[in-house]
Chains A and B, each alone.
Chain A
């Protein structure tokens, strides 16, 4: 056996062990084994997460930060322990910099409305990129409508990489914020965020990173990156839906006005005036998604237990295996050929619309996403209305990549009759 095969074998064994952690992977759809390749939309959940959520409801369901009884204390401890886990995951300087929100979308809206409305004025500019998800576009458009600021857009080249020269030229004395994806959900491109941050900071411009597609696939160190804000969703990190994180540098968060008002975010309330709680509670109005936060804590434990080195190596190997297989299919065009990518393969097929591809793959048990992936400006950039997108997670195998390819040949067979 040659060394490459040996490596494949040990990788296969490891993945089989990981797969056993995800009960849903035994599901059959349309009489076929599920091949779940829609991980950029949401990942599946390991048993540890499912049990953390149900364990909270079974054994210590209570509100947090307000009861003196035993269950409330247990719930509060688990909730705050999850905050500390997230802090360690992204290497934030303090747990106070970890704000629990509903997801990436909520986190970006928080920054737009709190930071943005207090700091951004008519005539100011915000830099985004052409590959942003709608949730990193529309909150800024709303802010622009409210303030009279305007957007500047970093273009994407044919391979799916940001045109950095254009970015340097766009940044000027009117720029107040740069908000870009760490990883593109449609192309898989890993953006050169370090360079973006260094350049922006050299001009005193803060940077928000949309980490929705990075957090489960790359090690993220917010202090090493020196980003000012980092947003991600729990459900793309093997955790529950309805919970996510906004990281912000304490100095920035401290100076920001509250986003929503309500319980928990206050210190004292009177009709003459209200004083606000300290970080992070100032930004956590109302009863939070307690079960979701606890589940997210379990998800963080799960991925850190595996380790980003191991999971990234596996996903990169899978991408390297699947890319030429897809590229060799006659009439198939991969959209997104950046040099640095996560395991996302967007493609179009001559003669077959992505929607039809999605239906036919589904009947073969292969779950992918089709459509514009909430990136309509990027679709326009590539001159397509939609793409088909397969996206890998740590539990996907080379056999599943083969099943994807076989299912695409089935589409061709039907459409080329």
Chain B
């Protein structure tokens, strides 16, 4: 039996209803768009990066609870980190939601661990992270989950 509460934890609803760091970021020097063509989820990520450190981050977009909560949690978790740390976090996160890595070092991001029981939803959870990577590379073309 699949337990829905594993996926939809209270923290996820909280971030879905009240996304943190939502909106445009004035003074952003990196930006990327992510799109999940399967469900129409869209995220725009704005970063201000100086000397290899992510000083500020905000996001905009419309999506399901998983995609929105994931983007919101991402902003909380990468602010103040170096680019390298953020990318390491991304690898750990993707490992967790795809079920290839064990959890344990991801802190608050672990509320999304339940996604690994729902393979169809992995793309929702990873969209913001792929978009962050594109933004760090300052890639101009929109990233998609396909």
Contacts and interface: CB of A to CB of B under 8 A. Distances in A.
Interface of A: 30-31, 352-356, 359-360, 363, 370-372, 379, 385-386, 414-415, 417
Contacts of B7: 359
Contact of A385 (B2, B13, B62, B65): B62
Contacts of B13: 415, 417
A14 B1 CA distance: 33
A372 B118 contact: no
Nearest to B121: A359
A370 B39 contact: yes
25 contacts: A353-B63, A353-B64, A353-B65, A354-B64, A355-B39, A355-B41, A355-B64, A355-B67, A355-B124, A356-B8, A356-B64, A356-B65, A359-B4, A359-B7, A359-B118, A359-B121, A371-B39, A371-B40, A385-B41, A385-B42, A386-B40, A414-B4, A414-B8, A415-B13, A417-B13
B4 A385 contact: no
B120 interface: yes
A360 B40 contact: no
Interface residues of B, number: 22
B41 to A, nearest CB: 7
A30 B66 CA distance: 21
7 pairs of A and B residues whose beta carbons are closest in the complex: A385-B40, A353-B64, A355-B64, A355-B39, A386-B40, A356-B64, A356-B65
Contacts of A354: 39, 64
A362 to B, nearest CB: 8
Given A385-B40, A386-B39, A359 B62 contact: no
Max chain A CB contacts within 10 Å: which of B4, B7, B40?
B40
Contacts of A355: 39, 41, 63-64, 66-67, 121, 124
Max chain B CB contacts within 10 Å: which of A352, A354, A356, A417?
A356
A31 B1 CA distance: 6
A28 to B, nearest CB: 11
Contacts of A30: 1-2
Nearest to A416: B13
